Amino acid sequence: MFKQLTPLSKFLILILMTGTSLLSYDTRFLGLLALLSFVLTRNSKLRLAKGLLLLILVHLLLLLLKQPDYGVQLYHYNISWLDDFTLQEALYLLTIFFKDVIILNFLLLFLLTSQPAELSASLNRVGLPYRLAYKIGLIFTIVPRFKAYYLKLATAAAAQNQVLSKGQAFKAFWKTRHNETLANRHFGKKHLRTWYASRPMTQLDRAALLLAAFSVIISIGLIFINGGRLWNPFR
What global pTM score does this model have?
0.75
Burial class (CB in 10 A: 0-12, 13-18, 19+), 2: buried
For residue 152, the model assigns a pLDDT of: 81
For residue 196, the model assigns a pLDDT of: 53
Task: Report CA-CA distances (Å) from 190 to 129, 154, 197.
Answer: 9, 43, 19
For residue 218, the model assigns a pLDDT of: 95
Q: What angle do CA 224, 227, 230 make, to 5 degrees?
A: 105
For residue 2, the model assigns a pLDDT of: 79
For residue 177, the model assigns a pLDDT of: 57
Interatomic CA distance for residues 92 and 64, integer angstroms: 10
Residue type, 12: L
Tally of CB atoms within 10 A around 139: 10
Residue type, 162: Q
DSSP state of 127: T
Could you list the pLDDT tens digit for every one of the 235 residues in the chain?
777 888 888 888 999 999 999 999 999 999 999 999 999 988 888 877 777 889 999 999 999 888 888 888 888 877 777 677 888 888 999 999 999 999 999 988 888 887 777 777 777 777 777 777 777 777 777 767 777 777 887 788 778 877 777 777 777 776 665 554 544 455 555 555 555 556 677 899 899 999 999 999 999 999 999 988 889 888 7
